[in-house]
A and B are shown apart, each in its own frame.
Chain A
Amino acid sequence: MHAERLRTGAKSGEHRLPLRASGLLEYGVEGQLILCEPSVEQVHFLNATAAAIWLLCDGRHTEADIVAELAALFNWDVPGVESDVRETLADFLRKGLLRAPPGYDA
């Protein structure tokens, strides 16, 4: 459900505050961030871009903030980054890597 809402247009989610799911173990291996559930049933490999988005999901950065930070970090154009961030956040939600941010169900 949350993933669907995230896909509803570039502007609809820009004020949301994505927050990382708690309890995941994080390992850094050669430029990739590896997230492991405590049950070790699922292990997720994030490349540098996905890892940067993940680390910005701290409940304080809005989606718009994450887009701006990422664009600055990698020297990319904001319009091109928006859709990547939206899709990545939707993917995180689908995989249970994010908690529903405050106001998400409002």
Chain B
Amino acid sequence: MPSSLALGTPPSPPDISVADWREEEFAVLNLRIALRTNEPGLADHLRTIFPGQEGVVATVPPGRQDYVVSCVRNQAHQRAYQVATGGRVVLRTWDRDALATYLERSICNAIAEHLGHRYVLIHAAALAHGGCGILFPGASGAGKSLTAAALAANGFQYFSDEVAVVTDDGRLRPFPKVISLKADGWRKLAEAFPFVAPAGGWLPSGEGGLYHLDPSHRLRSGGRWAGPPVRFIIVPSRRAGASTILEPLPKPAALTLLLEQSLNLRQLGTRAMGVLVRLVKESECFTLAAGSLREAGSLVARLTQLRGGPGLR
């Protein structure tokens, strides 16, 4: 089971010893992140990806910094970047896309670690429709983010595209990050939903970068708000060009997958185990082979409306 999200392999290049940086702070939930950088627009870009939660920021004591990351650009080699956290250089790269992706994953992990003391975290997309929470668990590359983007474009409430946050009583909480899509996924989304526009100040320059989508239905209430109970667990898979099929999945198989994709099972122990079992017991479980994004969205919408019905085609 993954303990954190993959950060990728840091490329080599230059050692940057001198940089004229300034510090910018932003708060996500009640986690205060300090970014020390000399790169224009980077802090605003990260603020867009990790929007603050209204009404919660004020609870962070002044001066407290939970996660400090420095990202500096070499003054001599204008395209060389160096990232450090905890006093240790963790990435040196020439690639702006690699830098942005690394920072995003790194902050994502910091937020997950922060939330993981209190909530059960699952490597899954999470959305809601008609008062029913829906989990889309799966390993990286399974199509979680694209499924989340397609459903958000269909009017579903968005909670997360990567880390599902679940309370002990089986309810969803929002993970404060917008949807991230690789170039290929973004192209498919834009083909199916031409009205979508990328969020964030930094657009990727190559295939390796990430596009971002800020769902209009994203929940901003944060803090004390209790979300809908999880009622569906749907395992997505990509089947480009094929039929879009939703089929029942045995609950033990769904539990096995949740155990594999739990991000803090060992940390929370039997408490997390109990929550995962509860989720499976209280949910209907399916696999979704998504040949068409639009079909997948309408199929899942029908499923939530016809709750308790048999597998749909």
Contact = CB atoms under 8 A, between A and B. Distances in A.
Contacts of A75: none
A29 interface: yes
Contacts of A39: 266, 269
Chain A at the B interface: SS class: strand
Given A40-B265, A43-B259, A32 B252 contact: yes
Contacts of A52: none
A34 interface: yes
A27 B256 contact: no
- What class of interface size applies to chain A in its complex with B? 10 to 19
B269 A40 contact: yes
A34 B252 contact: yes
A40 B274 CA distance: 11
Contacts of B131: none
Contact of B270 (A29, A30, A36): A36
B281 A43 contact: no
Given A40-B266, A43-B259, A25 B252 contact: no
A40 B260 CA distance: 12
A38 interface: yes
A27 B277 contact: yes
Interface string B138-173: 000000000000000000000000000000000000
A43 B266 CA distance: 12
A34 B252 CA distance: 9
Contacts of B265: 40
A35 to B, nearest CB: 11
Contacts of B269: 38-40
B27 interface: no
B281 A40 contact: no
A30 B259 CA distance: 16
Interface of B: 250-252, 255-256, 259, 265-266, 269-270, 272-274, 277, 280-281
Interface of A: 25, 27, 29-30, 32, 34, 36, 38-41, 43, 45
Given A29-B252, A30-B250, 17 more contacts: A27-B273, A27-B274, A27-B277, A29-B255, A29-B281, A30-B251, A30-B252, A34-B255, A34-B277, A36-B270, A36-B273, A38-B270, A39-B266, A39-B269, A40-B269, A40-B270, A45-B252
